[in-house]
Structure 1
Amino acid sequence: MQKEEFLQLIDKYLAGQATAADKEQLLNFFESFQGDTDEWDEKIIGVKQELEDRMLSNIRQAIAEPVANKGPKVIRLHFFRNVAAAVILLAVSGIAVYHWCIKHEQQKLVAQNKAVVKHDVDPGDNRAVLTLANGSKLILDSAKIGLLNQSGNTSINKTQDGQVVYTADKDQQQNGPVAYNTISTPRGGQYRVVLPDGSKVWLNSASSLKFPTAFTGTERDVELTGEGYFEVAKNKAKPFNVKVKDINVAVLGTHFNIMAYNDESAVKTTLLEGSVKLTQGNTSNLLKPGQQGIINDENIKIIDVDTDEAVAWKNGFFDFERANIQDIMKQLSRWYGTEVIYEGKIPDDEFVGKISRDVKLSQVLHILELSHVRFRIENKKIIVTP
């Protein structure tokens, strides 16, 4: 692609005159430089920084112009790591679409907006507390690798890759009453646990899971608060049940996500593989892969969803699908362990896109600031202003 052709394509894209083929060609061209920006040829396509500055200037000018749209504006965000900075705007029928690719531009934006960041916040990490049956607590993030505790015939180990593994001796009978442990993550924490039956659970921030140190009965019962992703070990003779508030999620062997925070309006169960049965009171429904069960006020609503969005947190991303600022701030507050304060009337813009969870809070907020919302970070507080 020659320099003149490339710049003409950018002009068409920013003016909203590019065809679908033009858009795909331009985006594929930028994405081809992921991880290796040394191949950028200034003789052909010009000075990279000048091009980025020009595109960013055009976008900011477009943002400042009023959008004639009766409904909420939808802002599409896309975040790439390890890519040189570029911002592309596509205006179609009053919908603003942003592709935000950052590497060295992150540091530049932080420097430009340093005045609004009094105390930046690091992303969350592997942090949790394990409460044993006798009430003693183990701080998992500071605990040594290896054996943590022995409960009957079950050993509890912390592995090198940051998870707790329960291993039950199947050749020995479990004697005595059932002992329960609870693993809890704080705001700004996450953790993985392998249960005595081999089932794997990922816990999101501000969540907890209560489970027996050995599944000795006819069923495998655990209790969840907050959010967890489950990969249940198959055992047709011993069904697996997740208790969430007054809801029961019954499975045999499957992959699913449950989001059940107290500050959310509904409990959402998203199925990726297998089948689950949702029960609340006298109401029950079966989920198929690719479906989500939404339970609110004893009603179970089943919808088709993009499962990637539901488990994005487990894979290291925030994934927004027409999310408003309030919904986004709930996720940021949990992951960065911050308080959120709103000042003034907040626009009802909706956001679509992905942002990595392994960057500082200020970098996430800079991406969101391409809308009409502004942020300040002060003493682990996010102040949101119009």
Structure 2
Amino acid sequence: MQNTHPRVSELFHKYMDGQLTEAERQEFLDYAEDPGFHKEINDLLGAAFENQSALSDMDELGRLRLLDKIFDKEQITTEPKKVKMWPRIGIAAAVATIIVSAGIWFYQGNQQDSTEQVAVANDVAPGKQSATLTLANGKKIRLTDAVNGELAKEAGVVITKSADGQLVYEVLAQSDASDKINVLSTGNGETYKVRLPDGSAVWLNAASSLTYPASFAKLKDRRVELSGEGYFEVAKDKAHPFIVKTSKQEVEVLGTQFNINSYQDEAAIATTLVEGSVKVSAGNRERMIVPGEQLSNNGSDFRVAKVNLDNIVDWKEGEFNLQRLPFREAMRKIARWYDIEVVYDGSVPENMISGGWISRDVKLSVILDGIQRSKQVKFRLEGRKLYVLK
């Protein structure tokens, strides 16, 4: 490599090895923001992708988001068929999410790709932070349109929209709003965060709803109901268990972090523990799980397995992490966020496995172009209907 700046190369390799200090990380981002170093960093990245053998020696790749999320090192598997969504020639959008503050799109403009572009009549913008709050009296508030500040008062509870766009409940003294039930709901292409009266935080994914009392005062437990997908950071309160009810089960915790996926179009409700412990119960079945485990409940059976947490909480972090997901499950995640209907041609196999990692902030065509480069499937987008073809 010619005209290499020693410090840039040093920082890049420390970045790849997960050894940057916070000061060095900022220094590296400063270089990345300088157009004069774009080609050099671009070349360093290209060399890393060319040297696959070096990748396998890195520390489990877990710390290396750049390569763990984008590069699927299990390509030798022949069954089921892999769909590697972002190969070397098409990783620009994915890498841009790694060094967000730098705004760099590596390989943009200097890579040639003969793959035909996705047939797009009208491109689809990504989803947004938005939701609808339904108060106990039936009043509906579109949070996208509401100004920051106080939205409502209910029996001693003040409901506000914060400057960073989250819903916050503040319980005043002598509040008695336990019977005031609120519902926070998101449509396709929407996500929102709420801080409940007990201080617990809940992130709602697209096409989801959370039902909860405006105050937990005078209640023996903190009970909420979830439809769709939510990520919970539960405030500790040993005297008042936190219970999440879905269509087929209940999850009981005292204070922990976990994700529940209860979409009706998924084969099972998936409860994934990030921190602490939870008890999942359905009928006469009960099971405790530990961090890193996911319990799948299909209505008749519990199955527990170790999972990659990054695949589960990607949506909360504004990402699609689709590594080793069934292709159709990956497409359901994409469809909810972009509010589209996916139609499969009969020739598209059922057993394909996806791979790849990309921001949820890009337009739909960027994601589809990346997937299509795998040459396993093709797309045709007409309005809000996406056709998947072999």
TM bin, normalised by shorter chain, reads 0.7 to 0.9
Partner of 1:81: 96
1:72 aligns with 2:75: no
Partner of 1:185: 186
Partner of 2:167: 164
- Matched letter for residue 271 of structure 1: L
1:376 aligns with 2:380: yes
CA distance, structure 2, for counterparts of residue 229 and residue 148 of structure 1:
24
1:352 aligns with 2:360: no
- Matched letter for residue 80 of structure 2: P
CA distance, structure 1, for counterparts of residue 110 and residue 281 of structure 2:
49
CA distance, structure 2, for counterparts of residue 237 and residue 115 of structure 1:
55
Bigger Cα Rg: 1
> By how many angstroms is 1:308 displaced?
1.9
User: Could you state the TM-score of these two structures normalised by the residue count of structure 2?
Assistant: 0.76
- Matched letter for residue 187 of structure 1: N
In the alignment, structure 2 segments of 5+ residues that lack a partner are 4-12, 18-24, 51-74
After superposition, the Cα gap between the structure-2 partners of 1:40 and 1:123, relative to the gap in structure 1 and judged at 3 Å, is closer
Secondary structure of 2:333's partner? Answer: helix
1:151 aligns with 2:146: no
Partner of 2:204: 203
CA distance, structure 2, for counterparts of residue 35 and residue 112 of structure 1:
30
CA distance, structure 2, for counterparts of residue 238 and residue 191 of structure 1:
25
> By how many angstroms is 1:292 displaced?
0.9
> By how many angstroms is 1:109 displaced?
8.8
CA distance, structure 2, for counterparts of residue 340 and residue 280 of structure 1:
32
After superposition, the Cα gap between the structure-2 partners of 1:71 and 1:360, relative to the gap in structure 1 and judged at 3 Å, is same
Q: Is the 8 A contact 2:118 2:381 kept in 1?
A: no
The structure carrying a bigger strand percent of its residues is: 1
Partner of 1:60: none
After superposition, the Cα gap between the structure-2 partners of 1:104 and 1:280, relative to the gap in structure 1 and judged at 3 Å, is same
CA distance, structure 2, for counterparts of residue 146 and residue 83 of structure 1:
33
After superposition, the Cα gap between the structure-2 partners of 1:132 and 1:69, relative to the gap in structure 1 and judged at 3 Å, is closer
Higher RCO (CA-CA < 8 Å; seq separation 6+): 2
Partner of 2:121: 118
User: Which of residues 273, 279, 282 is equivalent to 1:280?
Assistant: 282
- Matched letter for residue 193 of structure 1: V
Partner of 1:226: 228
- Matched letter for residue 192 of structure 2: Y
Runs of 4+ in 1 over 6 A off after TM superposition: 106-112
- Residue by residue over 1:229-255, the C-alpha shift from the partner in whole angstroms, topping out at 9 and shown as x without a partner, is 000011111110000113010000000
In the alignment, structure 1 segments of 5+ residues that lack a partner are 4-23, 56-66, 85-100
> By how many angstroms is 1:324 displaced?
2.9
- Matched letter for residue 385 of structure 2: K
Q: Is the 8 A contact 1:278 1:286 kept in 2?
A: yes
User: Which of residues 236, 249, 252 is equivalent to 1:250?
Assistant: 252
> By how many angstroms is 1:74 displaced?
2.3
Secondary structure of 1:321's partner? Answer: coil
Q: CA RMSD in A?
A: 3.3
Partner of 2:140: 137
Q: Is the 8 A contact 2:194 2:202 kept in 1?
A: yes
1:319 aligns with 2:321: yes
- Residue by residue over 1:38-64, the C-alpha shift from the partner in whole angstroms, topping out at 9 and shown as x without a partner, is 22568xx9x97xx99xx9xxxxxxxxx
- Aligned residues with identical type, % of pairs: 40
After superposition, the Cα gap between the structure-2 partners of 1:83 and 1:173, relative to the gap in structure 1 and judged at 3 Å, is closer
User: Which of residues 173, 176, 184 is equivalent to 1:174?
Assistant: 176
Q: Is the 8 A contact 1:34 1:82 kept in 2?
A: no
- Matched letter for residue 377 of structure 2: V
- Matched letter for residue 340 of structure 1: V
Partner of 2:338: 336
Partner of 1:385: 389
> By how many angstroms is 1:117 displaced?
1.2
CA distance, structure 2, for counterparts of residue 380 and residue 209 of structure 1:
26
CA distance, structure 1, for counterparts of residue 191 and residue 110 of structure 2:
27
CA distance, structure 2, for counterparts of residue 325 and residue 162 of structure 1:
33
- Matched letter for residue 230 of structure 1: F
CA distance, structure 1, for counterparts of residue 238 and residue 383 of structure 2:
51
Q: Is the 8 A contact 1:129 1:183 kept in 2?
A: yes
